[in-house]
């Protein structure tokens, strides 16, 4: 237990950093926020970094000669360097700021994939993908005559790696999958799957929207070609996300959106694209948000990502145990060791909308629906689930409240 | 008892009065709300004066959507099709006796949407065919 003691989070102290956690959602009803897989709450340091930028340094970046422009540029690029360091990317130029994970995946679809793939080429996805890692490929497949294949999800909620191997033997050009499922919580073996994909000659993109906020992620150790994630799920603001790409791939890719900042020079009928990463950042970016994301990774680094992961594994293990006690509750997905801080469940005879609504009356924020993963819900034969998701500021007492809340829901429906 | 889940809603959800299918029927329509997977079908029989003589609903969904379907279907028996067309959001909310946010409003209004689509759709078709 010595190791776990050294990693233990001081949750009380951490919670004090998140102003919203002190609010009530009704008279005498404190907020119990169990929806961090949708978006995380923001610590004071992030909120302050953004207001401080607007109060003291606000300016556009990269072109101005004045003091504020230089400060803003420096802060924006420093944020890029800190986020790069956070995911262990050796060169900050391999990080492109986007709006979110969705835009980062679309960027790859519109540039690398559109350039490199042609009729009959195969993209390998999985049944557990979020719509943001399905629809961009469906759109490109329709345009270019590509073939989409899917790694199935087993009843235990993990990818069927035998089928994965046989699909790889058909020579996909790209394998794109989530590091961690936003519904099942499943943490996929990215390193192993990437090595196999590379051996089969495919490039690899991972949707890390749920993993980078919750686990230590070393992008160079995983050896993926592309990785997408969002700022707002990792204590940062909305409006900023990240695409990591291997530098030699990014350099060979055509630009994404055209406009200011992505060019070196422009003539009436032609342009010369800027260097990486600016080539992919057309127009004024979300400057304050990028700076906020820089503050978020500083915050997470100070807490320590191994400690975050350990705390969440404990929380989700506790949640699985407690949910198993409630008659009629069925949790989708694997055991705690293979799972991030997510528990999606069905509750016999009660629709998720009703569950979420009645929990909300008790101050408990969960999510009900298909969580942007309709095909996965079809796979399990359920139209919708109720999802509780956890982050570093959650406590086992809050899970106890969730369980008590579910008993109240049952009482109302009985 | 939670005030949003008034007794009438839970009661109608658990013991629907109007659940079933009418075969044959004069009007039928089915639709779903893909956001939450709610699915509702409404069947109507009308007399020679276009007055609804029998009505039933079937499908699956949350308590709000199924309770409003039951209440709506019960309320239209004896009404003319023209009167059904006049029904709106307020009528449903009045039957439920609650206020709803935008997401749950879609649940509450699904059965009305289905019923109106059935009535308008088939009538429009009949007019077209003369």
Q: What is the DSSP string of A140-168?
A: HHHHHT-EEEEEPBPTTSSB-HHHHHHHH
Edge-to-edge order in the sheet of strand A367-369: A329-332, A342-347, A385-389, A367-369
A287-to-A33, A50, A312 alpha-carbon distances in Å:
28, 9, 31
Q: Is residue B52 part of a domain?
A: yes
Inter-helix orientation angle B7-14/A396-413, to 10°: 70
Mark whether A372 is an active-site residue.
Answer: yes
pLDDT at A9: 87
Q: Is residue B117 part of a domain?
A: yes
In this complex, do B36 and A374 lie within 8 Å of one another by their Cβ atoms?
Answer: no
**Alpha-carbon distance A35 to A80, whole Å?**
27
Cβ contacts of A371 on chain B, cutoff 8 Å: none
Which two three-digit tokens encode residue A173? 């050009």
For an interface test with A, the pick among B8, B34, B35 (most A C-beta atoms closer than 10 Å) comes out as: B35
Q: A111, A203 in Cβ contact below 8 A?
A: no
Q: Is the pLDDT of residue A259 over 80?
A: yes
Q: A18, A44 in Cβ contact below 8 A?
A: yes
Q: Is residue B1 part of a domain?
A: no
Weakest-pLDDT range from A111-125, A143-157, A248-262, B31-45:
B31-45
Of all residues in chain A, the one with the smallest CA distance to B10 is A413
Q: Is residue B48 part of a domain?
A: yes
Q: Is residue B36 part of a domain?
A: yes
Segment A384-405, tens digit of pLDDT: 999 999 999 999 999 999 999 9
Q: A75, A57 in Cβ contact below 8 A?
A: yes
Cβ contacts of B34 on chain A, cutoff 8 Å: 374
B24-to-A170, B16, B44 alpha-carbon distances in Å:
52, 21, 9
Q: What are phi and psi of B40, to 5 degrees?
A: -135, 140
Tally of domains in chain B: 1
Q: Is residue B2 part of a domain?
A: no
pLDDT at A178: 98
**Alpha-carbon distance A154 to A151, whole Å?**
10
Cβ contacts of A384 on chain B, cutoff 8 Å: 36-37
Rounded to a whole number of angstroms, the distance from the CA of B62 to the nearest CA of chain A is 5
Q: What angle do CA A371, A376, A378 make, to 5 degrees?
A: 105
In this complex, do A412 and B14 lie within 8 Å of one another by their Cβ atoms?
Answer: no
Q: What are phi and psi of B55, to 5 degrees?
A: -150, 150
Edge-to-edge order in the sheet of strand A147-151: A95-98, A241-245, A226-230, A203-207, A174-178, A122-126, A147-151
User: How many helices (H) and strands (E) would you count in chain B?
Assistant: 5, 3
Percentage of chain A surpassing pLDDT 70? 98
Inter-helix orientation angle B63-76/B7-14, to 10°: 80
Mark residue A335 as left, alpha or beta (left: phi above 0; alpha: psi -120 to 50; beta: remaining).
beta
Q: Hey, which bits of A246-351 come out as E strands?
A: 263-266, 271-273, 329-332, 342-347
Segment A30-53, tens digit of pLDDT: 999 999 999 999 999 999 999 999
The pTM (predicted TM-score) of the whole model is: 0.93
Pairing status of strand A385-389 against strand A367-369: antiparallel
Cβ contacts of A361 on chain B, cutoff 8 Å: 2, 4
pLDDT at B103: 82
Rounded to a whole number of angstroms, the distance from the CA of A144 to the nearest CA of chain B is 28
Token look-up 């237990």 returns A1
pLDDT at B33: 84
Q: Is the pLDDT of residue A5 over 60?
A: no
Weakest-pLDDT range from A108-112, A134-138, A356-360, B100-104:
B100-104
In this complex, do B5 and A358 lie within 8 Å of one another by their Cβ atoms?
Answer: yes
Mark residue B78 as left, alpha or beta (left: phi above 0; alpha: psi -120 to 50; beta: remaining).
left
Q: Where in the sequence is the domain holding B110, given as residue range(s)?
A: 7-129
Q: A352, B36 in Cβ contact below 8 A?
A: yes
In this complex, do A412 and B2 lie within 8 Å of one another by their Cβ atoms?
Answer: yes
Q: Which domains does chain A have, with CATH numbers?
A: 2-30+304-413 (3.90.1150.10), 47-302 (3.40.640.10)
User: Domain containing B111 — which CATH number?
Assistant: 3.90.1010.10
pLDDT at A7: 67
Inter-helix orientation angle B102-129/B63-76, to 10°: 40
B62: nearest CB among A353, A361, A374: A353
Which two three-digit tokens encode residue A221? 């150790």
In this complex, do A412 and B107 lie within 8 Å of one another by their Cβ atoms?
Answer: no
Confidence grade of residue A28 (pLDDT, cut at 50, 70, 90): very high
């Amino acid at each position: 237990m010595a190791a776990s003691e050294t990693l233990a989070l001081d949750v009380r102290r951490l919670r004090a950093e998140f102003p919203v956690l002190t609010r009530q959602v009704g008279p005498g009803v404190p907020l119990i926020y169990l929806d961090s897989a949708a978006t995380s709450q923001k610590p004071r340091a992030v909120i302050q970094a953004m207001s401080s930028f607007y109060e003291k340094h606000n300016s556009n970046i990269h072109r101005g000669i004045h003091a504020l422009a230089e400060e803003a540029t420096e802060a924006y690029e420093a944020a890029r360097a800190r986020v790069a360091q956070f995911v262990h990317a050796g060169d900050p130029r391999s990080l492109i700021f986007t709006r979110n994970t969705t835009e980062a995946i679309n960027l790859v679809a519109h540039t690398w994939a559109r350039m490199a793939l042609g009729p009959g080429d195969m993209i390998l996805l999985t049944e557990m993908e979020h719509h943001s890692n399905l629809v961009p490929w469906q759109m490109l497949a329709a345009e270019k005559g590509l073939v989409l294949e899917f790694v199935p999800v087993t009843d235990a909620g993990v990818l069927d790696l035998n089928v994965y191997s046989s699909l790889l033997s058909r020579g996909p050009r790209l394998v794109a999958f989530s590091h961690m499922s936003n519904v099942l919580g499943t943490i996929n073996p990215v390193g192993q799957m990437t090595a196999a994909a590379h051996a089969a000659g495919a490039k690899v993109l991972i949707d890390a929207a749920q993993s980078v906020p919750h686990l230590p992620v070393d992008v160079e150790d995983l050896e993926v070609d592309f990785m997408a994630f969002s700022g707002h799920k990792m204590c940062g603001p909305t409006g900023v996300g990240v695409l990591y790409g291997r530098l030699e791939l990014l350099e060979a890719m055509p630009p994404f959106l055209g406009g200011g900042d992505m060019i070196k020079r422009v003539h009436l009928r032609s342009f010369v694209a800027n260097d990486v990463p600016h080539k992919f950042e057309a127009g004024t970016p979300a400057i304050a948000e990028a700076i906020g994301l820089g503050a978020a990774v500083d915050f997470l680094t100070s807490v320590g990502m191994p400690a975050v992961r350990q705390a969440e594994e404990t929380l989700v293990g506790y949640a699985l145990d407690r949910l198993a006690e409630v008659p009629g509750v069925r949790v989708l997905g694997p055991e705690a060791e293979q799972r991030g801080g997510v528990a999606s469940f069905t509750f016999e005879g009660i629709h998720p909308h009703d569950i979420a609504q009645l929990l909300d009356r008790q101050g408990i924020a969960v999510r009900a629906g298909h969580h942007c993963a309709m095909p996965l819900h079809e796979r399990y034969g359920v139209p919708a689930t109720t999802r509780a998701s956890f982050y570093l500021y959650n406590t086992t007492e809050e899970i106890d409240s969730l369980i008590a809340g579910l008993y109240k829901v049952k009482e109302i429906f009985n | 008892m939670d005030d949003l889940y008034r007794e009438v809603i839970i009661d109608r959800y658990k013991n629907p009065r109007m659940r079933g299918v009418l075969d044959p029927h004069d009007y039928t329509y089915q639709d779903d709300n893909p956001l939450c997977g709610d699915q509702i079908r409404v069947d109507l029989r009308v007399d020679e004066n276009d007055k609804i003589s029998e009505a039933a609903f079937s499908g699956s969904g949350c308590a709000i959507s199924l309770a409003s379907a039951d209440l709506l279907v019960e309320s239209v028996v004896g009404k003319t099709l023209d009167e059904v067309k006049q029904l709106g959001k307020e009528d449903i909310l009045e039957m439920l006796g609650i206020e709803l946010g935008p997401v749950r409003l879609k649940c509450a209004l699904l059965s009305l949407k289905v019923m109106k689509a059935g009535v308008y759709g088939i009538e429009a078709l009949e007019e077209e065919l003369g």
